[in-house]
Structure 1
Amino acid sequence: KSLRYYLLVSQVKPLVEVYGRANEESVFTYEVYESLEEIIKLPALEFEMPMREVYNYIKFIPET
């Protein structure tokens, strides 16, 4: 089995970058999630997670 998804999760603001592919022969696609209202979707794994859950206990420091 090969890598299907690679996620980068920011610790300073709501931001999840997803590199994913449907199968081993596919090229990677790129998706960005920046809103706590969005739902991260990983269809090849039949998995979904709200951004709000990823950042549930995180308090962001406002940028100055």
Structure 2
Amino acid sequence: MTASPPHGAQDYVDLRTAARAARDRLDSSRPTGDAGPVHVGDPMPRLAIGRACDVLIHPHQATRARRF
């Protein structure tokens, strides 16, 4: 078991400078879920994260949006 990260901590990878093995894996397209306002059914959309993004951020915790 690992310790919880400090409040506000997150993991990220700069995909432009990531190791070749990581870039190769992230350059292949995979089924992608989207938490947007419209549900896209079958077939699931596909995305190659390495070709679509410069940085991959993984927040350890998320909360629901609040109204302004």
TM interval, short-chain normalised: under 0.3
TM-score for the superposition, normalised by structure 2? 0.25
For the pair shown, the structure with the greater C-alpha radius of gyration is: 2
TM-score for the superposition, normalised by structure 1? 0.26
Q: Greater strand percent: which structure?
A: 1
